[in-house]
Structure 1
Amino acid sequence: MNTLKRIMVGLDLTEMDDTLISYTAFLCSISEIEKVYFIHAEKSLDIPAEVLKGIPNGMAADEKIRVAMEEKIYSYFGPEQRSKVEVQVVEGSPLKELLHWSKEKQIDMVVVGRKFHLRGSGVLAQKILRSGRVSVLFVPENEDPILNHIMVSVDFSEYSLMALDRILHSALTRPEVRITCLHVYEVPTGYITLGISYEDFDERMKGFARDKFEQVLARFPELRDRATLRLVKQENEDDVGELIVVEAKRARADMLVIGAKGKSAAALFVLGSVTEKILRHNDDMPMIVYKKEKEELGFLDALLGND
């Protein structure tokens, strides 16, 4: 089952575009992605005529941008891959247009840049994740295309198991790609009232996690020969988001995967606290945040002005 057939890549005509195009071309080369939509949104394409002087053949502004985008994109995609590429320049708010077209084109995942040093705030990427029901792949600037080891943050909730299921059955997870399931646990302070030592309760928590992981392997038997469980204890002073990112780097993972709990219209623009913390600490590792499609449907439709 391939759950990643149609992706959309948001370009902003900065240096970040090269990284995004290169990484997307790499993903297409190792998977069965069927369609890639590269999209750039300009707030206004109503450019004064005097500004357009000198443009060959009286080419309109959006067409000129599209041609320039195609030239760059095709330098990364070989002739055999170009048939799956579509380039689009639209007018309007980048956030609203990306959300609109991700719904219109039935996109499985939006690919966006994660800036650190490059020009631009990178705020749009997080807004897309908060506002839409679509899953998002964050690609950091200057990322080298490689994917041999994926770390999935697993707390054994339905959201983390959904993320594990999605990445396991996506076109990206080739048989040779290693998967590490990272589980962060803590020893509750209430252990004192149970008359048991801290060390014993710690072992109980690890044993509980291992039992839950065995249930995961029973649910996804194809994981048994390729996945490992990594247990990390969270101390009181630790930030769980930072801890997950540090462990992913320590394990030399090429990608971090998490499942985000969606919010209702009463809590717009808010993600689960762990997702927010991971985003805050991760600037230099590709990361997929999977979302359940139906959870954000109401708000997305409201945002786009749909009935």
Structure 2
Amino acid sequence: MIAIDSMMVCLDLSDIDETLVRFTRSVCERLPVKKVYFVHNIKTSELSDDFREYFGDVNISDEIEGNIADIVTEHFANCTDYEILVSEEPNTEVILADLVKRYTIKLTLLGKRMSDKSTGALGTKLLRILPCSVLVFPETASFKIARVLTPIDFSDTSLHALHLSKSLADQLGLALDIMHVYKLPTQYFPLISEEKAIKKAEEVVKERFTDMQKRHKEIAGIPYTLVRAAGKTVAERINLQLQKGKHDLLVVGLKGHNPIPSLSLGSVPTELYNMDIDIPIWLVYSEEVIK
């Protein structure tokens, strides 16, 4: 059973904040969440001397907290226990990572605009630095979730994501699909038959699925799809499968074995985040990786 002791919702005082608060309520109505922290950081570097001269001694933190409180009261009040945290720090990523550790945050909700409105630079930084799982909610996403897709590569990372997806599907009555994207060593064509190579690759992958299902009985019977990369990246194939299967949620495992933060996220999750995908993406770290 999935239960979230503490959840952090990152707000930026834009029009997406109201949507995030409403989606947070939807999450809390579906899953047991003990406490939610609505947070915003005022980057001190953005408070120019002109701003201070114009507004004088106004307490900007109190003003922003009041603004957030109005949104939360309208769209979230009486749902579950919550707290509003407004800070004034020069580095937003660092203070949010500190809050995750301080309040033992298990899941962070992060809003995402389409590429024509934002570079997504801050979001990518947060994915690399936050020591918790992240649920990315695009501005065009729907609150309705009925079908989940989980890509796997047979690593412990993707297996953890699959277990979470299965628990989520069982808990909420969702349909769950698995997919695996395989690549062929095309540099050997036409020395070997492409048709035979495809057949052999699929045989190997099916054997790995069978072995995985034997070792993890709880995921036996979940439908899976084998997709050849065929000139596209793994992330591009996943995105195409999302559209084809009309999925409402994507669950992806995050790697964490490399001690260098910039290398620990994984290329596929990074590429997926930077795409204009209009459904929520749950990027999952295992407890072992977080520790």
TM-score greater than 0.5 by the shorter chain: yes
| Kept after mapping to 2: 8 A contact 1:185/1:231 | yes
1:212-223 equivalence runs, <5 A: 212-223=208-219
Q: In the alignment, is the contact (CA less than 8 A) between 1:263 and 1:296 conserved in 2? A: no
Q: Residue in 2 aligned with 1:181?
A: 178
Map of 1:243-254 to 2, 5 A cutoff?
A: 243-254=237-248
Does the 8 Å CA contact 2:239/2:277 hold for their aligned counterparts?
A: no
Query: How many equivalent residue pairs?
Result: 285
1:1-307 aligned within 5 A: 1-2=1-2, 4-44=4-44, 48=52, 51=55, 60-79=59-78, 81=79, 83-92=80-89, 93-116=91-114, 120-170=118-168, 174-189=171-186, 197-225=193-221, 227-235=222-230, 237-262=231-256, 264-265=258-259, 267-270=260-263, 271-293=265-287, 295=289
Deviation at 1:294, TM superposition (A): 5.2
2:115/2:276 contact within 8 Å kept: no
Q: 1:245 touches 1:282 (CA, 8 Å); kept in 2?
A: no
The Cα RMSD (Å) is 2.8
Residues 5 and 118 (structure 1 numbering): CA distance in 2 closer, same or farther, change over 3 Å?
A: farther
Shift of 1:239: 1.9
Matched residue SS, 2:143: coil
Per-residue CA deviations over 1:239-294 (Å, capped at 9, x if unaligned) read 221111111121111111111222534x3323322222222324422111112455
Counterparts in 2 of 1:121 and 1:276: CA distance versus 1, 3 Å: closer
Structure 1 unaligned regions, length at least 5: 298-307
Letter in 2 for 1:27: V
* One-letter amino acid matched to 2:62: E
Q: Over residues 160-216 of structure 1, what are the superposed CA-to-partner deviations in whole Å (9 max), with x where a residue is unaligned?
A: 10111233335x7535201111100123347769x9633233122222222322333
**Cα distance per residue 1:15-40 (max 9 Å; x no partner):** 11122112111111111122111101
Q: Which runs of 5+ in 2 are unaligned?
A: none
1:284 partner SS: coil
Aligned partners of 1:150 and 1:179 also within 8 Å: yes
Question: In the alignment, residue 15 of structure 1 is paired with which amino acid?
Answer: D
Per the alignment, residue 301 of structure 1 pairs with none
User: Structure 1, residues 128-168: CA drift from partner, whole Å, max 9, x if none?
Assistant: 11123321111101322011111001111111101112333
List, as ranges, runs of 4+ consecutive aligned residues in structure 1 with deviation greater than 6 Å.
Answer: 190-193
- Percent sequence identity is 26
Supply the distance in 2 between the matched residues of 1:142 and 1:240 (Cα, whole angstroms): 23
